[in-house]
Structures are given as structure tokens and as C-alpha cells.
Amino acid sequence: MMGDVKQMGYTIPTPVQMVAVPLLMSARNAIFLAETGSGKSLAFILPLSEMIKRGDGLKAIVMAPTRELVIQLYKEFLIFT
């Protein structure tokens, strides 16, 4: 996972990622509100993809306000799974 992230040019986590990733990796429920471009998508995509790879029996709901954003999130998710 981390190799993929570094190859894509992500080296320093954003504030929302520093909070979200450890929380979500511990299988906690969470809701995050932050500005566009703050790293929210990657903050939940990375833990979800890691849990899927581990075969943890993952269950998740990802909500987005538009169909276009859902498609964007899905494409980003495919990169890490």
C-alpha cells in the first residue's frame, strides 16, 4: 500500500488523513467533514483497500453527493486494490 502511495507522489499525509487512516484501520465508524482537496478520499480509500487485501470481511458504505463523485472515487479505489 505505502509503495503505491509514494509512487503516486503522496509523501506527507494531510491533517484529515493523519486522523482518519489509523481510526479506520481499527475498523471504527467515522464521518469526516473537510474542504475540497483536503485528502478525504485517500483517507478512506487506503484503509478500505488494505482491509480488502487482508480479507477482513470488510463492510463499508461510502456516500457521495453526486454520481460523478462516486465514479471518481471508484476509479481512485481501483488504483489501490
Identify whether the C-beta of residue 48 lies closer than 8 Å to the C-beta of residue 60: yes
Domain, as residue range, for 28: 2-80
Q: How long is the chain?
A: 81
What are the phi and psi torsion angles at 60 (to 5°)? -150, 150
This prediction has a pTM of 0.74
In the prediction, which pLDDT does 17 show? 92
The one-digit pLDDT tens for each residue of the chain (81 residues) are 555 677 777 778 899 999 999 998 888 888 888 898 898 888 988 888 888 888 867 777 788 889 999 999 989 888 877
Identify whether the C-beta of residue 31 lies closer than 8 Å to the C-beta of residue 57: no
What are the phi and psi torsion angles at 8 (to 5°)? -85, 0
In the prediction, which pLDDT does 1 show? 52
CATH number, position 24: 3.40.50.300
Number of domains in the chain: 1
For residue 11 the three cell numbers come to 509523501
Identify whether the C-beta of residue 20 lies closer than 8 Å to the C-beta of residue 43: yes
> How many C-alpha atoms does 61 have within 13 Å on its Cβ side?
4
